[in-house]
Amino acid sequence: MKSGPVGIGLIGAGMISDTYLEHLTRFPDVDVLIVGNRDVDRARVQAEKHGVPQWGSNDEVLDNPTVELVVNLTTPAVHASINAAVLAAGRHVWSEKPITTDRASAQALLGSAAAAGLLIGVAPDTVLGPGMQTARRVIARGDIGTPLSASTAIQYPGPDLFHPDPEFLFAAGAGPLYDIGPYYLTALVHLFGPFAHVAAVGSTGHATRTIRVGDRAGTVFPVEVPTHVSAIARFRGGGVAQSVFSFDSPLVRSGVVEITGTEGTLLVPDPNTFDGDIRITRAPSFENLANEPEWVTIPSAGIVAGRGTGVLDLARCIRNGGRPMASGEVAYHVLDTMIGMDEAMRLGETVPITSTVDPVPMLDEAWDPYESTL
């Protein structure tokens, strides 16, 4: 068995690669060796910016004999093909979310990885941050009693406000459900376990959108997906949830995750971030029903890193054995749930979620991304 840092190659040098490279180049247990992109000049810019020694095409990443784990940061439409190519090259893979955009290709990836003895990890890894992990420990020790229900919401005018190339976020396989949904639905899987049934309705506020920033500002493009989704769900272990995912709201609300239990309500930090305080309120007396709730704040506990935390966990599994916490199996169940919500919107009926996933363990509070362990 090999020892020492795990060799990393990136495919995709777009907007999100900055935050990945910022963190991955600081973790002692991984060594970022090469950045790849269809546009090699873009790969060079990112490699030089973050001190990565090599850059090249996507094929050059896969052909590099020192790369053991490939981080796929391409757009959702090509996740299936890139992830499959990584596995075919005998490399482990970390994929940005979603794992793919359809059930069949995701199942094929999991089967290929299992047959080859390779590991798949999939974003979001925000659920591994101190915020969510502390919230899980609070629930596990019974601070709000038995969890009964969840309410989540993310709504704002849409990523065309800030993204220089936003078309892919409004294309099939994206929209708020597939772009933002994984953060919230993955958080709910960690908190409640697997989904059992879902229902949803959706709408499209504008048939076209206009790019607002960058060299292509003013470009008009079509919208192919619902840009407002309201969903309800039931979990296999009991409990229900209601969620809103919207690119159509002038009123910005983000990071809304409320867990109601038999003894209190818990506010969980934004699942699109790694940290944040946890707040609990309990049932008021009859005389105080009209007053503002009284909140108890619980600071998060643990070391904050950022995007790339899941890559590091996957890398340590490559060396030490075990399964990554942000696993392909969790990602497939979340994808299955999102597709179920999509089907519920089209059919106008409740849809069963046939996939399931084992309970996800919690990170040890002493887990340190900046420790050299390999």
Residue 340 lies in a domain: no
Residue 366 lies in a domain: no
pLDDT at position 147 is 96
Same domain, 140 and 287: yes
What are residue 154's phi and psi, to 5 degrees? -140, 120
Same domain, 34 and 104: yes
Residue 250 lies in a domain: yes
- Count how many domains the chain has: 2
Range list of β-strands (E), 46-138: 54-56, 69-72, 92-95, 120-122
b/e per residue 254-292 (b: at least 16 CB within 10 A): ebbbbbbbeebbbbbbbbebbbbebbbbeeeeeeeeeee
Residue 131 sits in a domain whose CATH number is 3.30.360.10
Q: Which residues are within 8 A (CB) of 56 and not within 5 positions of it... i.e. 6 or more apart? A: 34, 36, 40, 43
pLDDT at position 287 is 58
Same domain, 140 and 270: yes
* 3-class secondary structure, 142: coil
Same domain, 88 and 195: no
The one-letter code for the residue type at 278 is I
Same domain, 74 and 164: no
Residue 335 lies in a domain: no
Same domain, 157 and 250: yes
Same domain, 45 and 157: no
pLDDT at position 3 is 86
Same domain, 35 and 76: yes
Residue 94 sits in a domain whose CATH number is 3.40.50.720
Same domain, 82 and 191: no
Residue 1 lies in a domain: no
pLDDT at position 2 is 84
Residue 121 lies in a domain: yes
Q: Per-residue pLDDT for the chain (374 aa), expressed as one digit of tens each?
A: 788 999 999 999 998 999 999 999 999 999 999 999 999 999 999 999 999 999 999 999 999 999 999 999 998 889 999 999 999 999 999 999 999 999 999 999 999 999 999 999 999 999 999 999 999 999 999 999 999 999 999 999 999 999 999 999 999 888 999 999 999 999 999 999 999 999 999 999 999 999 999 999 999 999 999 999 999 999 999 999 999 999 999 999 999 999 999 999 999 999 999 999 899 998 766 556 666 778 899 999 999 999 999 999 999 999 999 999 999 999 999 999 999 999 999 999 999 999 999 999 999 888 999 999 99
Full residue range of the structural domain in which residue 175 is found: 127-298
Q: What is the residue whose two structure tokens read 């406000």? A: 161
Residue 219 lies in a domain: yes
pTM assigned to the model? 0.94
Q: How many residues does the chain have?
A: 374
Same domain, 89 and 143: no
pLDDT at position 284 is 66
Same domain, 197 and 270: yes
Same domain, 147 and 104: no
* DSSP labels, 325-351: SSBHHHHHHHHHHHHHHHHHHHHTS-E
